[in-house]
Amino acid sequence: MDQFTLNMIFVGGSFALYIGIAIWARAGSTAEFYAAGQGVHPILNGMATAADWMSAASFISMAGLIATVGYGNSTFLMGWTGGYVLLALLLAPYLRKFGKFTVPQFIGDRFYSQKARMVAVVSLIIISVTYVIGQMTGAGVAFSRFLEVSSDTGLYIASTIVFIYAVLGGMKGITYTQVAQYCVLIIAYTIPAIFISLQLTGNPIPGLGLFSTHIESGLPLLTKLDQVVTELGFAQYTTLNSSMFNMFLFTLSLMIGTAGLPHVIIRFFTVPKVSDARWSAGWALVFIALLYLSAPAVGAMARLNVISTIYPQGTQADAVLYEERPDWMRNWEVTGLLKFEDLNGDGRIQFYNDKNEGFAATATERGWTGNEFTYNNDILVLANPEIAQLPGWVIALIAAGGLAAALSTAAGLLLAISSAISHDLIKSYLNPGISEKGELLAARISMAGAIVVATWLGLNPPGFAAQTVALAFGLAAATIFPSLMMGIFSKRINAWGATLGMLAGLVVTCAYLFTYLGMFFIPGTNLLEPVAANYLFGIPPASFGPIGALINFGVAYIVSMMTAPPPKDVQDLVESIRVPKGAGAASSH
Amino acid sequence: MADKSSSNAYWSANIRIIMTCMVIWFVASFGFGILLRPMLSGISVGGTDLGFWFAQQGSILVFLALIFFYAWRMNKLDAEHGVEE
pLDDT (0 to 100) of residue A464: 56
- As a whole number, mean pLDDT of residues A477-503 equals 97
The verdict on B83 touching A (C-beta cutoff 8 Å) is yes
Please name the residues in contact with A520: beta carbons below 8 A apart, sequence gap of 6 or more: A462, A514
Given a cut of 70, whether residue A113 has pLDDT beyond it is yes
Considering only the beta carbons, identify the residue of A84, A274, A579 that sits closest to B1.
A579
| CA separation for the pair B21, B65 (Å, rounded) | 10
- State whether B84 and A93 contact (CB < 8 Å): no
Beta-bridge mates of residue A338: A375
What string of DSSP letters covers A85-153?
A: HHIIIIIHHHHHHHT-S-HHHHHHHHTT-HHHHHHHHHHHHHHHHHHHHHHHHHHHHHHHHHH-S-HHH
Beta-bridge mates of residue A220: A213
Half-sphere exposure of A289 (CA within 13 A, CB side): 22
- Select the more confidently predicted residue: A465 or A219: A219
Is residue A514 within 8 A of residue A584, CB to CB? The reply is: no
- Residue A320 CB burial class (10 angstroms; 0-12, 13-18, ≥19): buried
Give the domain ranges of chain A.
303-387
Outline where DSSP puts E strands in A309-353.
Answer: 338-340
- As a whole number, mean pLDDT of residues B2-26 equals 89
Q: Which SS3 state, helix, strand or coil, does residue A506 take?
A: helix
- State whether A248 and B34 contact (CB < 8 Å): yes
Q: Which of A103-117, A330-344, A413-427 shows the lowest mean pLDDT across its residues?
A: A330-344
| CA separation for the pair A585, A12 (Å, rounded) | 37
Q: Residue A520, by phi and psi: left (phi above 0), alpha (psi -120 to 50) or beta? A: left
The verdict on B77 touching A (C-beta cutoff 8 Å) is no
Average pLDDT over chain A reads 91
- State whether B35 and A244 contact (CB < 8 Å): yes
Q: Residue B71: phi, psi to the nearest 5?
A: -60, -45
The verdict on B25 touching A (C-beta cutoff 8 Å) is yes
pLDDT (0 to 100) of residue A341: 92
The verdict on B13 touching A (C-beta cutoff 8 Å) is no
Given a cut of 60, whether residue B54 has pLDDT beyond it is yes
Q: Which of A74-78, B7-11, B25-29 shows the lowest mean pLDDT across its residues?
A: B7-11
Neighbours of A64 (CB within 10 A): 23
Total residue length of chain B: 85
| CA separation for the pair A542, A391 (Å, rounded) | 40
Q: Which ipTM was obtained for this model? A: 0.95
Percent of chain A with pLDDT over 70: 97
Q: For residue range A149-202, what is the model confidence (pLDDT) as tens digits?
A: 887 888 898 899 888 888 988 999 999 999 999 999 999 999 999 999 999 999
| CA separation for the pair A67, A32 (Å, rounded) | 42
Geometric angle at alpha carbon A367, from A365 and A373, rounded to 5°: 120
Residue A470: name the closest of A517, A430, A426 by CA.
Answer: A517
Q: For residue range A12-22, what is the model confidence (pLDDT) as tens digits?
A: 999 999 999 98
